[in-house]
Amino acid sequence: MEPTTFVLFGATGDLAKRKIYPALYNLFVDGKLPDSFSLFGLGRREWTDESFQANVERSVREFSRREAKNDGSLERFARAFRYQVLDIGREEDYERLLGRIEQRERELDARPNRLFYLSVGPEFFEPIAANILASGLGSEEGWKRLVIEKPFGHDLPSARELNRKLSQTFAEEEIFRIDHYLGKPMVQKMGALQQANPVIQALWTNRYIANVQITASETVGVEERAGYYDHVGAVRDMFQNHMLQLLMMAAIHLPHESSSEQVRFKKQRIMQAVAPLQKQDVAASVVRGQYAAGEVSGKQVVGYLSEPGIAADSSNDTFIAARLEIDDHYWRGVPFYIRTGKRMKEKSTRIVVEFKEPLQQPSQGLGAPNLLVFEIGPKEGITLQLNSKEGDEFKPLHVELHGSQDDVPEAYENLIHDALRGDGTFFAHWDEVELSWQWVQPILDAFAENLLPLQTYAAGSYGPTESDALLAQDGYRWWFDEELETNANKGEQYAYNANY
């Protein structure tokens, strides 16, 4: 990997502490950082290089998936870190930063390749990009890259405006928009599983697949993020980005050899083919909900409206479910159901592919449908539900594939490593982001105009029962963790480990 200077805005913040430093440390342990690597942390706090390094070490000890060894490696890792006080709006701070970076690059005899990571609020993206340009921080002699966190806009017009401004400083191939769901190892494998396995490839069409169910349920509530969450809700926080990215990755068909551009093109084609919604039709395809008090994992929890910092009359959504159709020759007629919510019964991100009934046979008595389940988190694995016979009765049998759960890299490790290598495959490209907002915009409009009732659901449930109707109208139902486990627990389970 080429020498890199990692310039981190928001180095004193929560994301840096919990995700970025631990990810960088694990890359360091795996030998996946460039040989010549320096990091400049930026923030308004009056930290020094030494106090910054101590903070980085603390965050690795607290949050790294791997325990930091007492062999000096953590200290060696932290030695590459420098800190500089910088106020985002103060031009002279960028000039001082440039001086320090150039000096460090000279010491290391390193080309000026600079990766700017914006771990700050979205209101700062544009002024930072403009100051990078004005100060000359993006040197002509090396490459420059911009890594940005979500949210990318608040709606379609604001996302377009943000993109217009960023593209005055950075070209599209220099912008790496993080969607951490694309960094999850199982999501990264989905395209390859379909691409490299004729058995999956052959089945991946409307000929055999009845419906696809994509769920990201969480047990946590709004936590300490009321100020942010009460303005965005589940639709902007999860649906427009993570859930639609999962849809694209589930529906993708990749050629044998596929470049980052092809992945991007295929995803764009999928989003273009998603049948658009009109705002007056939203109520037929979308369910929105808000959690009430209830019991989660054996503990009583308050309802959303009683959470600290939430407006007492808030009509914000903490749950959203939708029915979509991809109108192309692979998927025409196959409904995709998506749901995500907070304070639900379990923490689970999964894609369930339900196959059609056996050909030329009546369904009665033939057991359950075949299901292919991609478990994305918190545990990852793949389960295939088949039917077998016990005596006279057909019974489901689960074939489970799961690698070691202990050494799975975190999403941020994969994504930061890709950004350092300049590989944009698993980042959200502008076309996808724009098309996602375009699809979601009528939903936002329908919410704003009260065209869709806000349902309530008890914390600890599977969300509002109204979301069942989205599937029932097509003759289907959600597949629940409990059921899959119950079947497996009956003893008809073959499990073996596979290092896929």
Ligand X SMILES: O=C1O[C@H](COP(=O)(O)O)[C@@H](O)[C@H](O)[C@H]1O
Ligand Y SMILES: NC(=O)C1=CN([C@@H]2O[C@H](COP(=O)(O)OP(=O)(O)OC[C@H]3O[C@@H](n4cnc5c(N)ncnc54)[C@H](OP(=O)(O)O)[C@@H]3O)[C@@H](O)[C@H]2O)C=CC1
Among 122, 377, 403, 422, binds ligand X (CB under 6 A): 377
119 binds, among ligand X, ligand Y, none (CB under 5 to 8 A by kind): ligand Y
Query: Minimal distance in Å, beta carbon 119 to ligand Y?
Result: 5
Q: How many residues bind ligand X (CB under 6 A)?
A: 6
Contact 91, 128 (CB under 8 A): no
218 binds, among ligand X, ligand Y, none (CB under 5 to 8 A by kind): ligand X
Of 84 and 441, the one with the shorter C-beta distance to ligand Y is 84
Of 59 and 213, the one with the shorter C-beta distance to ligand Y is 59
Contact 12, 81 (CB under 8 A): no
Examine residue 307 and tell whether it contacts ligand X (CB under 6 A). no
| Annotated catalytic residue within 154, 231, 242, 253 | 242
Of 4 and 119, the one with the shorter C-beta distance to ligand X is 119
Q: Does the annotation flag 345 for ligand binding? A: no
Name the residue among 387, 367, 338, 354 with its Cα closest to residue 206: 354
237 binds, among ligand X, ligand Y, none (CB under 5 to 8 A by kind): ligand X
Q: Does the annotation flag 17 for ligand binding? A: yes
Q: Does the annotation flag 275 for ligand binding? A: no
Among 349, 383, 461, 487, binds ligand X (CB under 6 A): 349
Beta-bridge mates of residue 455: 289
Using the structure block, give the residue that is written with the tokens 């923490």: 347
Examine residue 53 and tell whether it contacts ligand X (CB under 6 A). no
Q: Does the annotation flag 180 for ligand binding? A: yes
Name the residue among 149, 43, 236, 83 with its Cα closest to residue 419: 149
- Side chain identity, residue 61: R
Query: Minimal distance in Å, beta carbon 47 to ligand Y?
Result: 8
- HEC string of the chain equals CCCEEEEEECCCCHHHHHHHHHHHHHHHHCCCCCCCEEEEEEECCCCCHHHHHHHHHHHHHHHCCCCCCCCCHHHHHHCCEEEEECCCCCHHHHHHHHHHHHHHHHHHCCCCCEEEEECCCHHHHHHHHHHHHHHCCCCCCCCEEEEECCCCCCCHHHHHHHHHHHCCCCCHHHEEECCHHHHCHHHHHHHHHHHHCHHHHHHCCCCCEEEEEEEEECCCCCCCCHHHHHHHHHHHHHHHHHHHHHHHHHHCCCCCCCCHHHHHHHHHHHHHHECCCCHHHHHHHEEEEEEECEEECCEEECCHHHCCCCCCCCCCCCEEEEEEEECCCCCCCCEEEEEEECCECCCEEEEEEEECCCCCCCCCCCCCCCEEEEEEECCCEEEEEEEEEECCEEEEEEEEEECCCCCCCCHHHHHHHHHHHCCCCCCCCHHHHHHHHHHHHHHHHHHHCCCCCEEEEECCECCCCHHHHHHHCCCCCCCCHHHHHHHHHCCCEEEEECCC
Report the 10 Å Cβ neighbour count for 109: 8
Examine residue 237 and tell whether it contacts ligand X (CB under 6 A). yes
Of 105 and 218, the one with the shorter C-beta distance to ligand X is 218
377 binds, among ligand Y, ligand X, none (CB under 5 to 8 A by kind): ligand X
Query: Minimal distance in Å, beta carbon 154 to ligand Y?
Result: 12
294 binds, among ligand X, ligand Y, none (CB under 5 to 8 A by kind): none
Name the residue among 115, 28, 66, 157 with its Cα closest to residue 427: 115
Q: Does the annotation flag 165 for ligand binding? A: no
Q: Does the annotation flag 389 for ligand binding? A: no
Query: Minimal distance in Å, beta carbon 218 to ligand X?
Result: 5
Of 347 and 356, the one with the shorter C-beta distance to ligand Y is 347
223 binds, among ligand X, ligand Y, none (CB under 5 to 8 A by kind): none
Of 236 and 417, the one with the shorter C-beta distance to ligand X is 236
- Give residues 181-220 in contact with ligand X (rule: CB under 6 A): 216, 218
Q: Does the annotation flag 179 for ligand binding? A: no
Distance CA 305, CA 323 (A): 27
Residue ranges in contact with ligand Y by CB under 6 A: 10-16, 43-45, 86-88, 119-122, 149-150
In this chain, which residue has its C-beta nearest to ligand Y? Answer: 13
10 binds, among ligand X, ligand Y, none (CB under 5 to 8 A by kind): ligand Y
Query: Minimal distance in Å, beta carbon 182 to ligand Y?
Result: 13
Q: Does the annotation flag 317 for ligand binding? A: no
Question: Catalytic residue at 329?
Answer: no
Query: Minimal distance in Å, beta carbon 121 to ligand Y?
Result: 5
Of 18 and 356, the one with the shorter C-beta distance to ligand Y is 18
Q: Does the annotation flag 10 for ligand binding? A: yes
87 binds, among ligand X, ligand Y, none (CB under 5 to 8 A by kind): ligand Y
Distance CA 343, CA 222 (A): 9
Of 152 and 462, the one with the shorter C-beta distance to ligand Y is 152
Q: Does the annotation flag 155 for ligand binding? A: no
Catalytic residue positions, numbered: 242
Annotated binding site: 10-17, 44, 87-88, 150, 180, 184, 218, 237, 342, 347
Annotated binding site for substrate: 180, 184, 218, 237, 342, 347
Annotated binding site for NADP(+): 10-17, 44, 87-88, 150
Judged by the rule CB under 6 A, the positions of this chain that interact with ligand X are 216, 218, 237-238, 349, 377
